[in-house]
Amino acid sequence: MLTDLTQPQASDMVGERQPVLAVDVMGSDLGSGEILDGVCLALKSQDQCSLRTILVGDGKVIESALSQRRFRSVRSSIEVLHADDVIAMDESPTKALRHKKNSSMAMAVELVRDGKANGALSCGNTGALVAFGTIRLRTIDGLERPALATVIPAIDRNFILLDVGANPEPTARQLVHGAILGAHYGNVALKMPSPTVGLLSIGTEEGKGTELVQDAHAMLKLLSDNNVINYVGLIEGFQLFQERAASIDVVLCDGFVGNVLIKTMESIAARLSAFLRKELLRNPLRAFGCLFIGGALRSLREKLSAERYGGAPLLGLNGSLFKAHGSSNRKQICHAILIAQRFLRASAVGELRRSVALADEILRGTNGADQS
């Protein structure tokens, strides 16, 4: 049975107070209106959503939108915080850190730092979000860099892919820390018991892959031998969508490979859908046949839809940040908010700190642990 990330578990809800999510309204390629509509959709999902939001951005624009009729039923769950600046998608993270301290993204992150929000969501500049998160929130003790994780839907399961862009050039130690982060995310937030971790490479044989892959592989085997993580070894791309018997719960790679991989998969899925539609409507007989398989096609589209998995948590920080695509539509924003809610209720940072400390203790003195 597939884990639906947008559905809160009973154990997540008991005894928990309503979480607060700060939303950067100004970071979208599609404009602030699309984000606001996504927030509205999420808050109206009463059976799924139980949080308050702080919308950060141009106060006049936000208030004007909130005065519209469709927001009336959810207005009591929304606060507004005005921000003067916006970080452009092509803006240097270093420049943003120096000159955009009053930007919507920076102020959303600071709400988390100051304890006024439990987490923050942005569609904006990934590098800037990682930079503000690392500087303002700091990484968890023992971790050097955060990692972006996303859930990839397959036919009969979900798997976690990380890193998908936070750290394009990690060291072997940072890659190993990513494995711990991914396994923790799978266990705590997605309810995966003892998640299996595989390291993406060009072959499964010993010696295959780059020096980085081989160094990380050796370190991961050592941690697996000491029961820190459930590492299954090197994996290849064709294994990602195999049947459950051969499934991997957490697919580990550097941020460069992960970002290319996820964008390629999204492009293929979109083109495949368009190709299938074109072929099914090529002639009247095929079109008639669609009447009989329409339900199956809709079910498949729902399972594989990127809209249901629109939020990627930035793991490893002393606070929860979530990244959505810059081109996310309102449905993707809605589901990103629901995923963020699920994560906020399930987060267990203390357990993660213990896992990182244990891993570093085991690796201390090895060649891999000394890499920088």
* Domains of the chain (ranges, CATH numbers): 10-370 (3.40.718.10)
Distance CA 248, CA 269 (A): 20
Q: How confident is the model at residue 264 (pLDDT cuts 50, 70, 90)?
A: confident
Q: What CA–CA distance (Å, rounded) separates 30 from 123?
A: 10
User: Model confidence at 99, in pLDDT bands (50, 70, 90)?
Assistant: very high
* pLDDT score at 14: 35
Share of the chain above pLDDT 90, in %: 52
pLDDT of residue 281: 78
* Residue 139 pLDDT: 94
* 27 within 8 A of 91, measured Cβ to Cβ: no
Range in 80-84, 159-163, 337-341 with the lowest mean pLDDT = 337-341
Please report, as a single letter, which amino acid is at residue 74.
V
Question: Among 198-202, 257-261, 268-272, whose mean pLDDT is lowest?
Answer: 268-272
pLDDT tens-digit readout, 229-244: 999 999 998 888 876 5
Mind listing the pLDDT tens digit for each residue in 102-116? 999 999 999 999 999
pLDDT of residue 302: 61
Least confident segment among 84-93, 166-175, 276-285, 353-362: 276-285
Nearest residue to 121 (alpha-carbon basis) of 346, 269, 342: 342
Residue at token pair 């948590």: 313
Q: What's the CA gap between 353 and 265, in Å, rounded?
A: 33
How far is 285 from 298, CA to CA, in rounded Å? 20
Give the helix/strand (H/E) hosting 82: strand 78-82
Higher pLDDT, 327 or 171: 171
Cβ distance 75 to 44 under 8 Å? no
Residue/partner pairs of 166-169 with CB below 8 Å, 24 or more apart: 166/126, 166/130, 166/255, 166/314, 167/130, 167/254, 167/255, 168/254, 168/255, 168/256, 168/259, 169/254, 169/255, 169/256
Evaluate if pTM is beyond 0.95. no
